[in-house]
């Protein structure tokens, strides 16, 4: 009689993670030479207009609609901002790397091709970005805000992470990246991201005016987070849908 084969042990514990989404290619894109970093608020807010083309944004919105988004509960954990939106979150180092390297982002942030960058030298760039930037946070978040949804005032905290690779790189997030896929041009009214500069500690000067970032299709916004993060919010969407892709800049630690 043939010896009985031992049944292979069934894996115990967690089910394997879902495969990452089959993100569409980043095409078409505006040539890097036609893009530049714009320091909207010195040391705090940097934007890149037309970082993604309207065609690419439209393509992504139809793709993102197929993802299993979940509505965040209206009641936040103690200390968290009230956030009412639909979101999808995935740890996808390959996508984060594409967003960093297959777009103009890496070269603009690191000042690789001189034009359109900020900071005349490496020391200035390190001061601006909070260190030597090594890439984007693999924790990719997709937000959809429908009419009536918003993200209440809050500060974004930094995270210590390890970027996978050989060897893995210990990193820290220093700036939030928000990529807007919709705007009034696509029927999204409201939903602006608003920043509240702090009033100067001394003297009786009135609180500075809020800084409003109007939605623009394909606009990338970077803002400093962690200890020096400005209070900010995503205003209520009044009409249409607001779609955003979120990640963070990471520096070596």
- When the beta carbons of 29 and 179 are compared against ligand AKG, the nearer one is 179
- When the beta carbons of 235 and 253 are compared against ligand AKG, the nearer one is 235
- When the beta carbons of 172 and 232 are compared against ligand AKG, the nearer one is 232
Residues 117-156 that bind Fe ion (CB under 5 A): 156
Largest CA distance in the chain: 94
User: Do 230 and 157 meet the contact criterion of CB atoms below 8 Å apart?
Assistant: no
Say how far apart CA 251 and CA 159 lie, in whole Å: 11
- When the beta carbons of 107 and 149 are compared against ligand AKG, the nearer one is 149
Please report how close the Cβ of residue 243 comes to Fe ion at its closest, in angstroms. Answer: 16
Is residue 234 at the binding interface for ligand AKG, with CB under 6 A as the rule? yes
Kindly tell me which residue out of 190, 193, 216, 237 binds ligand AKG, with binding defined by CB under 6 A: 193
Chain mean position to CA 12: 35
Say how far apart CA 47 and CA 21 lie, in whole Å: 27
Say how far apart CA 107 and CA 100 lie, in whole Å: 9
Instruction: Retrieve residue 104's tokens.
Output: 């103009």
Residues 146-165 that bind ligand AKG (CB under 6 A): 151, 156
User: How many chain residues are in contact with ligand AKG, going by CB under 6 A?
Assistant: 10
Residues 110-149 that bind ligand AKG (CB under 6 A): 143
> Which residue has the CB atom at the shortest distance from ligand AKG?
234
> Which residue has the CB atom at the shortest distance from Fe ion?
156
Is residue 241 at the binding interface for Fe ion, with CB under 5 A as the rule? no
**How many of the other CB atoms lie within 10 Å of CB of 221?**
22
Going through 76-203 in order, the beta strands assigned E by DSSP cover 83-84, 86-91, 133-136, 139-145, 150-154, 160-163, 169-180, 189-190, 193-196
Is residue 232 at the binding interface for ligand AKG, with CB under 6 A as the rule? yes
Q: Name the DSSP letter for residue 168.
A: -
Q: Say which entry of Fe ion, ligand AKG, none residue 143 contacts (CB below 5 to 8 A, set by partner kind).
A: ligand AKG
Tell the residue number behind the tokens 């979120």, with chain if given.
246
Instruction: Retrieve residue 19's tokens.
Output: 């495969």
Please report how close the Cβ of residue 168 comes to ligand AKG at its closest, in angstroms. Answer: 25
Binding site for Fe ion (CB under 5 A): 156
């Amino acid at each position: 009689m043939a010896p009985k084969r031992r049944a292979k042990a069934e894996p115990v514990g967690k089910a394997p993670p879902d495969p990452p989404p089959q993100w569409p290619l980043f095409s078409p894109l505006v040539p890097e030479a036609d893009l530049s970093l714009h320091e909207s608020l010195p040391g705090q807010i940097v934007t890149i207009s037309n970082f993604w083309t309207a065609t690419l944004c439209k393509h992504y919105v139809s793709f993102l609609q197929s993802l299993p988004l979940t509505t965040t509960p209206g009641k936040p954990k103690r200390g968290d901002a009230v956030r009412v939106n639909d979101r999808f979150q995935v740890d996808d180092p390959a996508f984060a790397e594409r967003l960093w390297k297959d777009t103009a982002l890496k070269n603009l942030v690191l000042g690789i091709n001189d034009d359109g960058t900020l900071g005349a030298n490496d020391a200035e760039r390190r001061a601006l970005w909070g260190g030597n930037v090594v890439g984007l946070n693999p924790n990719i978040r997709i937000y959809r805000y429908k009419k009536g949804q918003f993200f209440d005032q809050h500060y974004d905290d930094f995270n210590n992470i390890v970027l996978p690779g050989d060897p893995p790189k210990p990193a820290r997030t220093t700036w939030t990246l928000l990529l807007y896929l919709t705007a009034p041009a696509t029927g999204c009214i409201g939903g602006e991201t608003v920043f509240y500069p702090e009033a100067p500690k001394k003297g009786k000067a009135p609180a500075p005016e809020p800084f409003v970032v109007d939605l623009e299709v394909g606009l990338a916004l970077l803002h400093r987070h962690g200890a020096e993060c400005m209070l900010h919010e995503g205003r209520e969407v009044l009409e249409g849908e607001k779609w955003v892709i979120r990640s963070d800049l990471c520096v070596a630690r």
